[in-house]
């Protein structure tokens, strides 16, 4: 199964995301922001970093990159798409996911091993977790505060679209401790923590992030 990882100018974690895909048993394919061609991939990861220098707003300019035209239409027709950190910001700016991400409440860049609870194990990217399981995944962001109006938040909760929640101290002021959400269909997931940095005991706090990548491969094999 081919999983594309988009590189924007300013992406940082594209290489780690490709490595995570390969470790999970998939075939990572590098995609370029300036090309519309998705090169026959079955799923797409929008990686972390500072696309276009975070100019204007995080993800605001990346949203209009040529590759995003193809990603948007593929996502709408059901292709699994995972946005990690800056990728999550891009998905919100694209309106593929509701809400927005704003500067951390405490105004500091946060970088730490974060405890999370996986709240929804039925999305394309989380099916290999046990629902309610607690995991440790690296978190690093300056603008990771998830905000949405109360109606949207209530809908996300009611429809089970909250995918992951922060445990312990809320690291960035995210409303209702939200660390990640999915669209209604469950094929598009946005996540502030970085599962691609938690796939190898040698250089991460755990391998708790790997199931994000094995989940999508399993999902694709089913289809």
Strands (E), the chain: 2-7, 27-32, 43-46, 81-84, 100-102, 110-118, 134-141, 145-147, 162-166, 178-182, 188-191
Q: Collapsing DSSP states into helix, strand and coil, what is residue 129?
A: coil
Q: Catalytic site residue 119? A: no
Please state the closest distance from residue 202 (CB atom) to another protein, in A: 36
Catalytic residue among 85, 93, 143, 219: 85
**What separation in angstroms does the CA of 12 have from each of 109, 129, 215?**
16, 26, 23
Nearer to another protein, 128 or 170 (CB): 170
Q: Catalytic site residue 196? A: yes
Question: DSSP labels for 184-217?
Answer: TTSSEEEESSBGGGSS-TTTSS-STTHHHHHHHH
- 155 counts as binding another protein under rule CB under 8 A: no
Please state the closest distance from residue 117 (CB atom) to another protein, in A: 24
User: How many whole angstroms separate alpha carbon 122 and alpha carbon 140?
Assistant: 25
Catalytic residue among 92, 119, 194, 219: 194
- 93 counts as binding another protein under rule CB under 8 A: yes
Binders of another protein in range 29-68 (CB under 8 A): 56-57, 60, 64
Binders of another protein in range 186-215 (CB under 8 A): none
Q: Catalytic site residue 95? A: no
Residues annotated as catalytic are 85, 194, 196
> Which residues contact another protein by CB under 8 A?
56-57, 60, 64, 92-93, 98-100, 102-107, 145, 147-148, 173
């Amino acid at each position: 199964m081919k999983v594309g990882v988009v590189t924007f100018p300013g992406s940082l974690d594209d290489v780690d995301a490709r490595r995570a895909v390969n470790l999970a048993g998939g075939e990572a394919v590098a995609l370029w922001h300036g090309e519309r061609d998705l090169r026959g991939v079955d799923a797409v990861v929008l990686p972390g970093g500072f696309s276009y220098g975070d100019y204007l707003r995080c993800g605001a300019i990346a949203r209009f990159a040529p590759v995003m035209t193809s990603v948007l239409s593929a996502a709408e027709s059901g292709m699994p798409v995972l946005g990690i950190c800056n990728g999550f910001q891009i998905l919100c700016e694209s309106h593929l996911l509701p809400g927005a991400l704003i500067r951390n409440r405490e105004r500091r860049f946060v970088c730490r091993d974060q405890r999370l609870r996986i709240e929804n194990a039925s999305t394309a990217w989380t099916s290999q977790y046990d629902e309610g399981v607690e995991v440790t995944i690296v978190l690093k962001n300056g603008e990771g505060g998830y905000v949405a109006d109360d109606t949207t938040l209530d809908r996300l909760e009611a429809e089970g679209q909250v995918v992951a929640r922060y445990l312990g101290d809320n690291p960035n002021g995210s409303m209702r401790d939200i660390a990640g959400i999915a669209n209604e269909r469950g094929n598009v997931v946005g996540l502030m923590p970085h599962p691609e940095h938690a796939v190898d005991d040698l250089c991460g706090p755990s391998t708790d992030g790997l199931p994000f990548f094995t989940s999508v491969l399993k999902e694709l094999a089913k289809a």
